[in-house]
Amino acid sequence: MTTGRIVVAETGDAGSYYSASVSVRPDLPSLVEDVDCDVCVIGAGITGSSAALELAGRGFDTVVLEAQRVGWGASGRSGGQAIFGYACEQHKLERLVGKADARRLWDMSVEAMALLRQRLDAFQIDCDHAPGQIHVAIKPRQHAELLDWQRQLEDEYDYRSLKMMERDELTGLMETERYISGLYDAASGHLHPLKYTLGLNAAARAAGARVFEHSPAVSVEQGEGITVETGTGARVRCRHLLICANAYLGNLIKPLRSKIMPVGTYIVATETLGEEQARKLIGNNMAVSDVNFVLDYFRLSADYRLLFGGRVSYSTIPPPSLSYSIRSRMLKVYPQLKDVAIEYAWGGNVAITVNRAPHFGRLDRDVYFAQGFSGHGIVMTGFAGTLLAEAVAGTAERLDVFARIPHHPFPGGPLLRTPALVLAMAWFRLRDLL
């Protein structure tokens, strides 16, 4: 049984469960006349809104340009799992930047989780935040990998909030036989991403930032200062520019575009299950993610729906029968939901990098960027905005740690990189089955 309509990337968050469950959403003006400011931020997702909040709080005259609406991209319609670390493993970061910088990157990821919680409290952002997240294993090989991961994070990174759950304990919390164990983190959690993004943006506006919706940046010119031309015909003249468009950067900044690949991700929301049935699925209300390369991730909403994500499209073309295909994955976990309706199904793009590490840095003296969160952005996007604001204010040491991560363009150029990536992903899908 399925109901609801399928919403693909081009419509942004408009048809998602998140959008439907937001009761108040301000209509912000478009930019209709030229303006001058200290800092122009392109993109009003979590990164851009966080940067604007920090900059306005530091006294910078800040303008934010959003091509659609606040939270329209991945910030407003993701899986909502707020978890530690990065999409790549710490071992990979150690190989890329050395152990000392890998430790700095780890410590900043932990700080980023604390910063998220601090902002929720400081700005009274009601976004259904709930503690707890678990990575679950399907195969013995994955169970061993989770044990190794726990040992590394505890012994080498002093991270002490992890707990390994064996099958008996896990099945006591989750009414499923699919998983043999899980690594639980009490410090991670989950939230309603659109409410969170809107709350950050509201806080930025209250601090003095000017935010313009339906005002896409179409060109950037640098001279004595920086001029950003928008699709409305109006221009922003600024001293500093922050690029926070991520998967929807397009060809605006070509040197950045080559380092990321937009990838389609998709989620469904069931009908309301009721508290009793929902608590049988996830007894402690934690967020859940398996450790396959092409992974499933799911959690409960505040009104007791199951939100389940499980498909990706490396060509950004939505899979045929999207609702059916994700539903099939959901029923592998919870076959007892076979008669439960799907009321929402939606999707959109996230930006991945070749090495799955985030891509932050400086393009020019006064142009900074943060992109490539690789599906691991709820926590680090907010922290990235803080790092960009620090750099504008003259303290770039922490941003520079990220800038030392080497990033390469996707192979194949504009025409061949998508087919090349699709072929590479076929190998990882095969490995998930082994």
Q: Give the 3-state secondary structure percentages of the chain, helix then strand then coil, rounded to 5.
A: 40, 25, 35
Amino acid at 288: V
Rounded CA-CA distance 347/245 in Å is 17
- Strands 226-230 and 235-243, by their bridges, are antiparallel
**Rounded Cα–Cα distance for residues 38 and 393 (Å):** 11
Q: What angle do CA 107, 245, 30 make, to 5 degrees?
A: 130
Dihedral in degrees, nearest 10, Cα atoms 100, 105, 108, 109: -140
Alpha-carbon distance 15 to 13, whole Å?
Answer: 6
Q: Measure the CA–CA gap between 300 and 281, rounded to whole angstroms.
A: 9
Per-residue pLDDT of the chain (434 residues), as tens digits, is 444 444 443 445 668 999 999 988 999 999 999 999 999 999 999 999 999 999 999 999 999 999 999 999 999 999 999 999 999 999 999 999 999 999 999 999 999 999 999 999 999 999 999 999 999 999 999 999 999 999 999 999 999 999 999 999 999 999 999 999 999 999 999 999 999 999 999 999 999 999 999 999 999 999 889 999 999 999 999 999 999 999 999 999 999 999 999 999 999 999 999 999 999 999 999 999 999 978 999 999 999 999 999 877 776 666 667 788 899 999 999 999 999 999 999 998 999 999 999 999 999 889 999 999 999 999 999 999 999 999 999 999 999 999 999 999 988 655 555 555 554 454 444 455 45
DSSP assignment, residue 247?
G
Tokens 């803080």 map to which residue? 386
Contact 190/133 with Cβ under 8 angstroms?
A: yes
**Structural domains of the chain, ranges and CATH numbers in brackets:** 6-423 (3.50.50.60)
**Token pair 């990065």 in the structure block, residue:** 86
3-state SS, residue 351? strand
Please count the other Cβ atoms lying within 10 Å of the Cβ belonging to residue 419. Answer: 12
Residue type, 50: S
Which has the closest alpha carbon to 195: 130, 150, 243? 130
Pairing assessment for the beta strands 62-65 and 210-212 based on DSSP bridges: parallel
The sign of the CA dihedral 366, 66, 380, 247 is negative
